[in-house]
Amino acid sequence: GESVGLHLPTLSVQEGDNSIINCAYSNSASDYFIWYKQESGKGPQFIIDIRSNMDKRQGQRVTVLLNKTVKHLSLQIAATQPGDSAVYFCAEKLNTGTASKLTFGTGTRLQVTL
């Protein structure tokens, strides 16, 4: 399949180092945030989520930080591995009270060098 997002910002990280991927979200009324990973030719894969009443949430090798003051979200990947190479993007959900509709960022490409 073709690669989507050929001109994305790229973060290049050496294997074993930590990665930090940033996302600025748009709406202060958003109450839920998700990070997705998308490998070339595949569908987006859920990584981790966080609610707006939290500042930090940890998963396996990943941590999401939320700064509501500046509407900023970050994804930290510990001990980055070659299999982490992908496009990462964030999504936000407005508290609309209806079926959840997510707004997606355009993403950052993570390249892991050996």
Partner 1 sequence: DAGITQSPRHKVTETGTPVTLRCHQTENHRYMYWYRQDPGHGLRLIHYSYGVKDTDKGEVSDGYSVSRSKTEDFLLTLESATSSQTSVYFCAIRPGTGNTIYFGEGSWLTVV
* DSSP secondary structure letters along 7-27: T--EEEEETTS-EEEEEE-S-
**Other CB atoms within 10 A of residue 108 CB:** 20
Binding flag, residue 94, partner 1 (CB under 8 A): no
Instruction: Give Cα separations from 85 to 10, 14, 82 (angstroms).
Output: 11, 11, 6
User: Which amino acid, one-letter code, is at 113?
Assistant: T
Residues 7, 28, 83, 114: which binds partner 1 (CB under 8 A)? 7
Q: Could you tell me the smallest distance in angstroms from the CB atom of residue 62 to partner 1? A: 15
Is 10 a binding residue for partner 1 by CB under 8 A? The answer is no
Q: Is 82 helix (H, G, I), strand (E, B) or coil?
A: helix
Nearer to partner 1, 80 or 109 (CB): 109
One character per residue 39-78, x = contact with partner 1 (rule: CB under 8 A): --xxxxxx--x-----------------------------
Q: Locate 103 and state its tokens.
A: 């707004």
- Chain residues binding partner 1 by CB under 8 A are 1-2, 4-7, 32, 34, 36, 41-46, 49, 89, 91, 93, 99-107
